[in-house]
């Protein structure tokens, strides 16, 4: 069954055909580690995780590379303002290196809590200064650069089809670039490849270069590291939709200019914003962001509830965040896990090979249609309603969870609930179905004495520790 993905470069869904048969090279724009990742940031990594899992589910061998921006991302996207790491260091009274190390580890903890598969290669910008300088030198030799008082710039007028990823008229991109004006730039859309350290100022992060002491621009790091680990042409580049018009447009331009090959990347995939009340996107710059810890963990909510909520909205559509939405997602996720527990409570033994062919085809059709996770979740519910034996239902659902990543195996097999509790819970569910209310009440009380609360809701029965 063909895998179709929406390619921003083409502006439509296309059948995924990798450069190397059976292999997929995938680059994901990683975090800028000057603060905690917020839920909007994490939505991007959830979408990329589903993409990676779908590729694996289709039998591809995936090479997943993610950068860590620990230098060079200025507070203004058009190469103006202060480096976010230096700004974070001043905010917290630490060194820029300490800030980068702390928030890198915080990010890794967040993605682990969301059951996001880690990349095969983590690459830090500060570990690849040489590669970035070498790439700038290639661009210089090919005549794509010029020097101003504050750095080395890429001349976008010399790159044909600079707007081919954004699909915006060049005039519209120029208008956006005028928000942060640098009078020394030849063109409003030109961008920094290397920034000079301010005169009479020593930055915490700076390096010598052929053009002067300074630090790399934000865009050059991704090109340099992607080329190093995935080659001059590769399959997939991912990120948030806010990266399209500036960051990814600039990456594409400098990479194709240096490599002399087009397309640099076959498929560009982008996720929609996470919006809060009023339709405003969640962003650190707006000071309206929520972290995973603040929004869920400190409220006693499993972080996987957010993963479940994200799966319920197609990755390219805006996703709305609110307290009621989180509560509804928690109810849905609790119900799903309890459905799995009920199946597992009466399962006689392993059933990994008894996966219904028709159900699997429906699930594969959903996820292979541009990662349609809402439809995939509907197939999971279809499995619960089917006339299959419980062990076969469970086998299918656990197979689907290889893509969904909701750790349903923990709910059904490993024992997020102890075996005795799982059995009592299953016995009570069967008593309720058979309308044996006295027995159902008795088993509820037994579970309560064991430290578990039972809630019978319209969506199903929920069990949790008291």
- DSSP secondary structure, 219-271, as one string: HHHHHHHHHHHH-SSEEEEEEEGGGIIIIIHHHHHHHHHHH--S-SEEEEEEE
**How far, in Å, CA of 336 to CA of 379, rounded?**
13
Residue 10 has pLDDT above 90, yes or no: yes
Report DSSP state, residue 116: P
**Token pair 């409003």 is at which residue?**
188
**pLDDT score at 79:** 73
What percent of the chain stands above pLDDT 70? 91
- Alpha carbon distance 306, 261 (integer Å): 40
pLDDT in tens, 112-142: 999 999 999 999 999 999 999 999 999 999 9
User: At residue 413, does pLDDT exceed 50?
Assistant: no
CB atoms under 10 Å from CB of 61, counted, come to 12
Report, as an integer, the average pLDDT of 195-209: 90
Q: What are 456's strand-pairing partners?
A: 461
- Start-to-end CA span in the chain (Å): 46
- Asked whether 315 and 6 are in contact (CB, 8 A), the reply is no
Listed residue (296, 321, 268) closest to 43, CA to CA: 321
**Residue 174: pLDDT over 80:** no
The pLDDT score that the predictor gives to residue 351 is 44
Nearest Cα to Cα of residue 366 among 384, 380, 356 = 380
Q: Is the dihedral of CA 297, 300, 303, 307 positive or negative?
A: negative
Q: Residue 148 — left, alpha, or beta (φ > 0 → left; ψ -120 to 50 → alpha)?
A: beta
pTM for this one? Answer: 0.87
Euclidean distance between CA atoms 217 and 454, whole angstroms: 55
- Work out the percent of the chain whose per-residue pLDDT is above 90: 68
Q: Give dist(CA 77, CA 225) in Å, integer.
A: 20
Residues with Cβ within 8 Å of residue 285, at least 6 apart in sequence: none
Tell me the domain boundaries of the chain: 4-271, 289-416
In this prediction, residue 329 has a pLDDT band, given cuts at 50, 70 and 90, of very high
Q: Which one has a higher pLDDT value, 7 or 203?
A: 7
pLDDT reading at 415 higher than 50:
no
Q: Which CATH class is domain 4-271?
A: alpha beta
Residue 414 has pLDDT above 50, yes or no: no
Task: Please determine, looking at this structure, whether the domain spanning 289-416 carries the CATH number 1.10.730.
Answer: yes
pLDDT on residue 348 = 52
Q: Is 223 left (phi over 0), alpha (psi -120 to 50) or beta?
A: alpha
* Residue closest to 313 by CA, chosen among 237, 242, 372, 382: 372
What are the tens digits of pLDDT across the range 211-245?
Answer: 999 999 999 999 999 999 999 999 999 999 999 99
- Helix/strand/coil (H, E, C) string of 140-166? HHCCCEEEECCEEEECHHHCCCCCCCC
Q: Which pair of tokens denotes residue 191?
A: 């961008």
Rounded mean pLDDT of 3-31?
97
338, 461 contact by CB (below 8 A)? yes
Q: Is-contact 154 191, C-beta < 8 A?
A: yes
Give CA separation, 215 vs 94, 132, 155, 212, 433, in Å: 20, 10, 19, 9, 67
């Amino acid at each position: 069954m063909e895998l179709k993905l929406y390619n921003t470069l083409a502006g439509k869904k296309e059948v995924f055909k990798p450069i190397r048969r059976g292999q997929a090279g995938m680059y994901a724009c990683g975090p800028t580690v000057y603060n905690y990742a917020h839920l909007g940031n994490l939505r991007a990594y959830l979408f990329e995780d589903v993409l990676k899992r779908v590729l694996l589910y289709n039998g591809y061998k995936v090479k997943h590379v993610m950068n860590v921006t620990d230098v060079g991302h200025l507070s203004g996207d058009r190469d103006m303002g202060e480096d976010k790491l230096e700004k974070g260091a001043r905010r917290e009274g630490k060194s820029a290196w300490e800030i980068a190390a702390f928030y890198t580890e915080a990010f890794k903890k967040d993605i682990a809590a969301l059951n996001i598969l880690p990349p095969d290669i983590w690459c830090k910008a500060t570990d690849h200064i040489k590669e970035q300088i070498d790439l700038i030198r290639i661009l210089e030799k090919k005549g794509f650069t010029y020097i101003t008082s504050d750095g080395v710039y890429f001349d976008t007028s010399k790159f044909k089809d600079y707007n081919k990823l954004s699909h915006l008229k060049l005039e519209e991109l120029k208008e956006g670039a005028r928000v942060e004006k640098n009078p020394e730039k030849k063109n409003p859309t030109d961008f920094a490849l290397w920034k000079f350290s301010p005169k009479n100022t020593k930055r915490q992060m700076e390096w010598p270069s052929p053009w002067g002491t300074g630090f790399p621009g934000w865009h050059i790091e991704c090109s340099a590291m992607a080329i190093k680990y995935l080659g001059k042409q590769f399959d997939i580049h991912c990120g948030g939709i806010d990266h399209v018009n500036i960051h990814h447009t600039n990456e594409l331009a400098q990479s194709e200019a240096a490599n002399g090959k087009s397309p640099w990347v076959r498929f560009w995939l982008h996720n929609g914003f996470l919006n809060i009340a009023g339709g405003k996107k969640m962003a650190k710059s707006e000071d309206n962001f929520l972290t995973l810890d603040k929004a869920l963990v400190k409220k006693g909510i499993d972080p996987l509830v957010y993963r479940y909520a994200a799966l319920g909205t197609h990755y390219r559509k805006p996703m709305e965040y609110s307290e009621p939405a989180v509560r509804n997602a928690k109810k849905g996720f609790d119900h799903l896990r309890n459905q799995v527990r009920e199946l597992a409570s009466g399962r006689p033994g392993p059933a990994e090979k008894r996966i219904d062919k028709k159900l699997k085809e429906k699930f594969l059709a959903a996820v292979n249609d541009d990662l349609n996770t809402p439809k995939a979740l509907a197939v999971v519910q279809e499995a619960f309603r089917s006339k299959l034996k419980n062990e076969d239902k469970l086998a299918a659902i656990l197979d689907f969870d290889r893509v969904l990543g909701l750790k349903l195996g923990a709910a059904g097999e490993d024992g997020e609930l102890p075996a005795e509790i799982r059995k009592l819970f299953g016995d009570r569910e069967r008593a309720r179905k058979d309308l044996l209310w006295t027995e159902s009440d008795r088993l509820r009380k037994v579970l309560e004495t064991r430290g578990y609360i039972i809630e019978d809701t319209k969506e199903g029965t929920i069990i949790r520790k008291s």
